[in-house]
Amino acid sequence: MKAAVAQVKLYNNIDANLITISKYISLASKEDIDILCFPECNITGYVRDFSKVNQNEVMEMLNIIQKQVTKAGVNVIVGAPYFERKKRFNTAIVLLTNGRRHIYHKINLTSSDEAYFKRGKEPLIFQVGNVKFGVLICRDQNDPMLAAKYKTLGADAIFILSAHFYEPIEAIRKINKNRALPVARAVENNLFVLKANAVGSNNEFISLGGSLIINPEGFVVREGDKVNEMILSYKLSKGDEQQENNLIFHNLYL
């Protein structure tokens, strides 16, 4: 099972984000990646007024991405604002190559999230091949009990979709914290953690990348830099066999 995270720039323009998503799915397909995870709200951008997002455009974009997922043979996780029961959530949407979809709503909201989104309530477990995955979104990484629940549900790995946008000084101050928490979740629960973070600036805010893949022993086996777009991939093994891992570095919009 070759799993990967995409560290990419986010734009407050759905069409621009679709170009990024499409290019990275194509790249993942060429590298025989089985599942690729993008950052939080990567379809719409994160630093924005979500009340102005057209939900029909989001759903249309998901359908477009689904067609590429099926054609490319790469399972994908994307982030977007998502309406359900007339409520808006900060959501991770799992698009599988067989056409099935799974939905996870962010549970631990930031103060900026609370202005637009309702709180999710349920964890999500889904399976690709023989590997069971859980999903977290950004601040969910702070919650040790949520990660532990995934372990009890049988997860082998957890994806984290993040968009750590802060004012520049705060962004630098929070680098260590946002690196340490996924490592802690991996070690506490003896599972893989794969974190996709945004990179680049949006309005006056900046996200310093640092996407991660961490093995169950807590070793950071892949780590993104602070400025470039890239894919980090790793071959997940449930046994003691040798891990095969790769770093794919690809610049877009630089």
| Model pLDDT, residue 253 | 35
Sign of the four-CA dihedral 124, 62, 66, 72:
negative
| Model pLDDT, residue 196 | 98
Note down the domain range covering 168. 2-249
| Model pLDDT, residue 246 | 46
| Model pLDDT, residue 136 | 98
In a domain, 254, yes or no: no
| Model pLDDT, residue 237 | 80
Torsion from C-alpha of 140, 230, 36, 130, nearest 10 degrees: -90
In a domain, 20, yes or no: yes
User: Checking DSSP bridges between strand 87-95 and strand 75-84, what pairing results, if any?
Assistant: antiparallel
- Structural domain count, the chain: 1
| Model pLDDT, residue 247 | 46
Distance of CA 174 to the CA centre of its chain: 19
Q: How far apart are CA 95 and CA 154, in angstroms?
A: 21
In a domain, 177, yes or no: yes
CATH code of the domain containing 38: 3.60.110.10
pLDDT in tens, 135-146: 999 999 999 999
In a domain, 243, yes or no: yes
Q: In this structure, which amino acid lies at residue 114?
A: E
In a domain, 200, yes or no: yes
Q: Which two tokens stand for residue 74?
A: 């790469």
pLDDT in tens, 164-181: 999 999 999 999 999 999
Q: Using 50 as the pLDDT threshold, list the residues of the chain that sit under it.
A: 240-254
| Model pLDDT, residue 239 | 56
